Structure 1
Amino acid sequence: MNPFDISGRLALVTGSSRGLGHALARGLAEQGARVILHGRSPQTVEQAARALRDESGAEVSAVTFDVTDAPAVKEALAALIETHGVPDILVNNAGLQRRAPFTEFDPADWDAVLATNLSSAFYVSRAISPAMSERGAGKIVNIGSVQSMLARQTIAPYSASKGGVAMLTKGMAADLARFNVQVNCISPGYFRTDMNTALWQDDDFNAWVENRTPAQRWGEVEELIGTLLYLCSGASDFVSGQNIFVDGGMTSVV
């Protein structure tokens, strides 16, 4: 048997109508998973699902709910489980970035960043993991960041949220491993995504990333798929609570 085989497994990826989340969902679909895309706009996520079905030939569905609203999450995921069954794989990818100097950071933006990046992973996982535990199998992958370990000017709340994701991963693993539910984290470095467009198009920042990263380049989203596949497959059945940095070596050097 191929320990990396995820054929037929049901995967929910939050924040997957575009960008990094869509690339992760596409990677799972291309490996034979049945994928449920998630987004805030019904029109956008349905369009993304149709496109992914056409591209991959995989079974792709769509769901819309607000990941920052705990009651809405509970209701939506109860309906999802009734319709599609219990996901085998959950990827908590929904994310938000706001930039401002720490002393000028708006409290409302702080709340939004923490709710979208951290609380959502708690809400969604809490709604799905009981059914995974009852079944005795499940894979949860939280998406962190190099900012889970490192800080940079103007994004203190983002760093706090991603540091929280890394520690939430460990806490979830401590509670869920006994039920054969593995919880791990992937922390990307600087990747060419929609969220980072303004950064990689800035010549000075682009030069900083290339000089700061031992690989001397930005990552491409396709380079996250191998790590994701490993953590979503039987190959990682005795791996839990880990945070894997996919960053071209950035967090390994000073």
Structure 2
Amino acid sequence: MVLTSSPIQAPVAVVSGGASGIGKAIAEKLAAAGAQVIVADIIPAEEGSKIAYFPCNVTKPDDITAFYAHISETYGQPDILVCCAGQGIHEKLTEGDPDKWQAVLDLNIMGALRLIRAFTPGMLEKGAGDVVIISSVSAGQPYPYGGVYAASKSALNILAETLRQETLPTLRVLTVAPGVTQTSFFENTISGYNTVESIGYGALSPEEVAQTVLFALEQPRHVSLNHLTVRPTPQPF
């Protein structure tokens, strides 16, 4: 099955954090399914990539404004918005650095909110669309050193459900909560020390998470999958 927006035009998909990891896998799956994909990221585009790229730090309002202007002028309003940009942090609440916490909250929560605020009005005007928010199994799961990260993902879950209620029946809103995934996430975690191997549950591939997203998007418009959890089978939470 391929994605369709109209008989003559490929759907336009915007993917934040789409230059690496889960975001990159989602961008590639969407492109392979027939979408015209534009990636927004601070990581430079891969040489030779056929997916369009726009340098954008989603924590910076001016970057969001420039990105939105580029999309609307070049492609029109998107059919699919994927909010994937994010970062982990592993710090004890009694010892950690609040400035680092603020940076993670700005990226994980405000980055998604800025994209939603910029793009969803046009999607509503267009009359249909999908918003995908990449959360985590950490949402609603308190654990030592994970309070700030888990709180940021819990916030995304609440925001996604609020957005769904505010925009139905025009937009479908999907939250995907991956478990342990084999990406550079742990290497880029602030103050983190975990690895896929040290966690010990095995790991999903980014492509497996992306396939979950594609499955939801390919459902008929009257079918809305709103929250999907995908994790390695041995993972207990």
- Structure 1: runs of 5+ lacking an equivalent: 54-59, 211-216
Q: Answer 1 or 2: which has greater helix percent.
A: 1
Task: State the match for 1:248 in structure 2.
Answer: 232
SS at match of 2:87: coil
Range moving further from structure 2, 97-106 or 128-137 = 97-106
The answer to whether the 8 Å contact 2:182/2:196 transfers is no
In the other structure, the counterpart of 1:57 is: none
For the residue of structure 2 that corresponds to 1:102, the secondary structure is coil
Aligned-pair CA distance for 1:63: 0.8
- 2:53 aligned with 1:52, yes or no? no
Number of residue pairs matched by the alignment: 228
Q: Distance in 2 between matches of 1:173 and 1:91?
A: 14
Distance 1:75 1:5, change over 3 A: closer
Matched, 1:228 2:213: yes
Runs of 4+ in 1 over 4 A off after TM superposition: none
What root-mean-square deviation, in Å, do the aligned CA atoms of Structure 1 and Structure 2 show? Answer: 2.1
CA separation in 1, counterparts of 2:98 and 2:87?
15
1:23 to 9, 25, 31: 25
Query: Percent of aligned positions with the same letter in both sequences?
Result: 28
Gap change, CA 1:36 and 1:224, over 3 Å in 2: same
Query: Which deviates the most, 124-133 or 28-37?
Result: 28-37
1:158-169 matches, cutoff 5 A: 158-169=149-160
Which amino acid counterpart does residue 206 of structure 1 have in structure 2? Answer: I
Give CA deviations for 1:201-241 in whole Å, capped at 9, x if unaligned.
Answer: 65xx233xx2xxxxxx211111112221123234354316x
**Structure-1 separation of matches of 2:124 and 2:136:** 27
For the 8 Å contact 1:192–1:200, the answer to whether it is kept is no
Amino acid at match of 2:172: Q
TM-score (norm 2): 0.87
Q: How far has the Cα of 1:107 moved from its partner?
A: 1.0
1:214 maps to which residue? none
| C-alpha distance 244-199 of structure 1, shift in aligned 2 (>3 A) | same
Whether the 8 Å contact between 2:3 and 2:35 is mirrored in structure 1 is no
